[in-house]
Amino acid sequence: MVMRTFSLPDLGEGLRQAEIVSWHVAEGDHVVADQPLVSVETEKAVVEVPAPRSGTIETLHGAVGDIIKIGAPLVDFAEASRDEGAIVGELGSAKRPRAAAKRPAPARPARSAALRARVIPSARRRAGELGVDLAKVRGSGPEGVITLGDIEAAAEPRPRESYAPLRGPRRAMAEAMAGAGREVVPATVTDVADVGAWIGDGDVTVRLVRAIAKAASAEPSLNAWFDGNSLARRLHGQLDLGIATDTVDGLFVPVLRDAGRASPEAIRAGIDRLRAAVTDRTISREDLTGATFTLSNFGMIGGRHASLVVMPPQVAIVGAGRIFAPDGRGKAWLLPLSVSFDHRAVTGGEAARFLARALEDLELCE
């Protein structure tokens, strides 16, 4: 018998590891090429890893919740097919054997079918940790999807544990923020915009997107990426705007593509689509990568000004605070704005000019 090992393939974007969410096969199962083997969580997206070839599963490396490094053993195949192609380490690069293509793939396990389909992976893990019966939980997400918050609400009170390992989005956030803290030289400028001319009728987030696009056009040095190792900068002609999104599972930053050329209706539709995908955890990795600038509208929750974290290779982020009336009677409405930037790549003058142009657009009554 020939033993062949399939390792966790390169999932792109420089990722170094992934967390096992669920196995779709068991030891002893026969699989065909391209049949899903396992779902893994890479930063904030869940990805299915397919079988690179046909064969019988001898060993599964890792349990649900384990973190496995790229290139580490994932599955051992016990039998070698005569017509198999070489096992390769990248998704989509294995060739389907002729024999496997002529017969249907074996049926996949039901996996509590309907129930598992409406439970996000992090909620399913937490339910196991807390002993919550998923069949008794009513989901509050879109179409009844059970979220992490639903599990926490359904759990019996229990003593607080001293420490618990971070998983999924929270682990990714911790690693990303630690990296930004080591690398970026932060600075912040702040001001307020008088938005009284339109605040009763306008969409605040859409207006913020438009203002950032106008400012980036006037001061393109902030819509850029910076390589600290080579001290090189790349200016972007297109604004791919990351929208910081707060959830019970952690911070997500989906990307609104080409935001500077989109109509107000398209901006709103794009934001709603991304938020829905984040909420039910169907967001793709493509929608979470490649931002050239970031907006955090934290004022929807609270706070006025903030010194926000710039995420490399980006060089700047805008924070919008809570709108307030300075006289307490609503005769004027002010929107606080903060521009935090990486002072290695952006000067104070450039950041101030960017802020001034954004304020100018926000104060227009149109």
The span from the CA of 352 to the CA of 358, in Å, is 10
Which two tokens mark 85? Answer: 């192609």
Residue 69 lies in a domain: yes
The Cα–Cα gap between 217 and 65 comes to 45
**In sequence order, what are the residues at sequence separation of 6 or more whose Cβ sits closer than 8 angstroms to the Cβ of residue 86?**
none
**Does residue 166 lie in a domain region?**
no
Q: Measured between alpha carbons, how far is 20 from 39 in angstroms, rounded to an integer?
A: 6
316 and 187 belong to one structural domain: yes
Q: For the chain, what is the HEC assignment?
A: CCCEEEECCECCCCCCEEEEEEECCCCCCEECCCCEEEEEEECCEEEEEECCCCEEEEEECCCCCCEEECCCEEEEECCCCCCCCCCCCECCCCCCCHHHHCCCCCCCCCCCHHHHHCECHHHHHHHHHHCCCHHHCCCCCHHHCECHHHHHHHCCCCCCCCCCCCCHHHHHHHHHHHHHHHHCCEEEEEEEEECCCCCCCCCHHHHHHHHHHHHHHHCHHHCEEEECCCCEEEECCCCCEEECEEECCEEECCEECCHHHCCHHHHHHHHHHHHHHHHCCCCCCHHHCCCCEEEECHHHCCCCCCCCCCCCCECEEEEECCCECCCCCCCCCEEEEEEEEECCCCCHHHHHHHHHHHHHHHCCCC
Q: Could you tell me if 207 and 275 lie in one domain?
A: yes
pLDDT at 83: 45
Tell me which amino acid residue 108 is: R
Q: Are residues 10 and 139 in the same domain?
A: no
Bridge partner residues of 22 (DSSP) = 39
Q: What is the pLDDT of residue 43?
A: 67
Are 72 and 214 within one domain? no
Q: How far apart are CA 230 and CA 244, in angstroms?
A: 28
Domain encompassing residue 88: 4-101
Query: For residues 210 and 361, is the Cβ–Cβ distance under 8 A?
Result: yes
Alpha-carbon gap, residue 237 to 76, rounded angstroms: 47
The verdict on whether omega for the bond into residue 106 sits within 30 degrees of 0, i.e. cis, is no
70 and 203 housed in the same domain:
no
The CATH number assigned to the domain holding 53 equals: 2.40.50.100
CATH of the domain at 141: 4.10.320.10
**Same domain (yes/no): 145, 196:** no
Let me know if residue 175 belongs to a domain: no
**28 within a domain of the structure (yes/no):** yes
Give residues with Cβ within 8 angstroms of 332, minimum separation 6. 194, 196, 325, 326
**Total number of domains constituting the chain:** 3
For residues 174 and 268, give the distance between their C-alpha atoms in angstroms, rounded to a whole number. 30
| Contact call for residues 61 and 68 (beta carbons, < 8 A) | yes
- The pTM (predicted TM-score) of the whole model is 0.65
Residues 6+ apart with CB under 8 A from 263: none
Tens digits of pLDDT across the chain (366 residues): 556 899 998 877 667 888 888 899 988 899 888 888 998 887 667 788 999 988 899 999 988 888 888 899 999 998 654 444 444 344 444 334 443 344 444 444 444 444 444 677 778 888 888 888 888 898 887 777 888 888 888 887 766 667 888 888 888 889 999 999 999 999 999 999 999 989 888 899 999 999 999 999 999 999 999 999 999 999 999 999 999 999 888 899 999 999 999 999 999 999 999 999 998 888 998 999 999 999 999 999 999 999 999 999 999 999 999 999 987 766 789 999 999 999 999 999 999 999 999 999 999 987
Residue 169 lies in a domain: no
- Residue 290: give its domain's CATH number: 3.30.559.10
Domain boundary among 56, 78, 101: 101
Same domain membership, residue 191 and residue 313: yes
Residue 170 in domain: no
Beta bridge pairs of residue 50 = 36
- Say yes or no: 271 and 248 in one domain: yes
Are both 96 and 205 inside the same structural domain? Answer: no
**Measured CA distances, 134 to 8, 60, 117, 124, 151 (Å):** 30, 26, 12, 8, 8
Same domain, 221 and 326: yes
**Same structural domain for residues 268 and 345?**
yes
The whole-angstrom separation of Cα 53 and Cα 33 is: 4
In a domain, 79, yes or no: yes
Angstrom distance (rounded) from CA 310 to CA 330: 33
* Residue 106 located in a structural domain: no
- Cα–Cα distance for residue pair 281/269, rounded to 1 Å: 18
* Residue 29: HSE in the Cβ half-sphere, 13 Å Cα cutoff: 19
- Kindly state whether residues 201 and 288 are assigned to the same domain: yes
Contacts of 299 by beta carbon, 8 Å cutoff, 6+ apart: 320, 321, 322, 323, 335, 336
